[in-house]
Amino acid sequence: MEGSVAYDNDLNLKATELRLGLPGTHEEQQAVSSSTVRNNKRPNGESDARNETAPPPKAQIVGWPPIRSYRKNNSQPKKTESEGVGIYIKVSMDGAPYLRKIDLKVYSGYPELLQAVENMFKFTIGEYSEREGYKGSDYAPTYEDKDGDWMLVGDVPWEMFITSCKRLRIMKGSEARGLGCGV
């Protein structure tokens, strides 16, 4: 209870004492002002974007420019699929209460993608082999391709994968083991 009185003082004194001082002159929070641009989805994190003298490289800021995703996907002629537009797909994991979304363009290959998914859902996929699929865990990463079929991640070349993958599903348990054992 007493602790909140301190907050009250904080509110009454400092909040109403709005000065035209330079930002960061007297607040313990001033450290945050330099890192306001955070690129959650980029592995090669962007440095402080307030540095206006250096024009930023082509690394994208999440949600900028503010264009809706269906517009990004639809308005380009086919040839620009390889340029800066992200490929966002949904990722579901059996047993998880909610889905996630990732941008496949961010990853350079399967190992990076699988690592990211492992981190996202806090689990480990096994080791991939062409013969036996994923061994060593209860999970198998699968994806739905353009034809609506569910495929095991890793069988096709990466470039082919990212253009044909519509969504990702981490299968668990007996369903997963069935896939891994080679049909």
Partner 1 sequence: MHKKTAFSFPDEVLEHVFSFIQSDKDRNSVSMVCKSWYEIERWCRRKVFVGNCYAVSPRMVIKRFPEIRSIELKGKPHFADFNLVPDGWGGYVFPWIVEMAGAVPWLEEIKLKRMVVTDESLELIAKSFKNFKALVLSSCEGFSTDGLAAIAASCKNLKELDLRDCDVDDLSGHLLSHFPDTYTSLVSLNISCLGSDEVSFSTLERLVCRCTNLRTLRLNRAVPLDKIANILRRAPQLVDFGTGTYAADLRPDSYSDLAGAFSSCKELRSLSGFWDVVPDYLPAIYPVCSKLTSLNLSYATIQSPELIKLVSHCPNLQRLLVLDYIEDSGLEVLASSCKNLQELRVFPSDPFGVEPNVSLTEQGLVAVSSGCPKLQSVLYFCRRMSNEALVTVAKNCPNFTRFRLCIIEPRTADYQTLEPLDVGFGAIVQYCKDLQRLSLSGLLTDRVFEYIGTYAKKLEMLSVAFAGDSDLGLHHVLSGCESLRKLEIRDCPFGDKALLANAAKLETMRSLWMSSCAVSFRACKLLGQKMPRLNVEVIDERGPPDSRPESCPVDKLYIYRTVAGSRFDMPPFVWTMEDDPSLQLS
Binding site for partner 1 (CB under 8 A): 1, 4, 7-8, 11, 14-16, 18, 20-23, 27-29, 32-33, 36-38, 40, 49-50, 52, 55, 58, 60-72, 74-77, 80, 83-85, 88, 90, 97-101, 148
End-to-end Cα, the chain, rounded Å: 64
Q: Is 174 helix (H, G, I), strand (E, B) or coil?
A: helix
Closer residue to partner 1, CB minimum distance, 99 or 160:
99
Please, what is the minimum distance in Å from the beta carbon of residue 29 to partner 1?
A: 6
Q: Which of 142, 136, 133 is nearest to 123 (CA)?
A: 136
Conformational region of residue 98, where left means phi above 0, alpha means psi within -120 to 50, and beta covers everything else: beta
Closer residue to partner 1, CB minimum distance, 65 or 157:
65
Please, what is the minimum distance in Å from the beta carbon of residue 156 to partner 1?
A: 20
Beta bridge partners of 89: 102
Please, what is the minimum distance in Å from the beta carbon of residue 150 to partner 1?
A: 14
Q: Which of 162, 48, 55 is nearest to 113 (CA)?
A: 162
Please, what is the minimum distance in Å from the beta carbon of residue 60 to partner 1?
A: 6
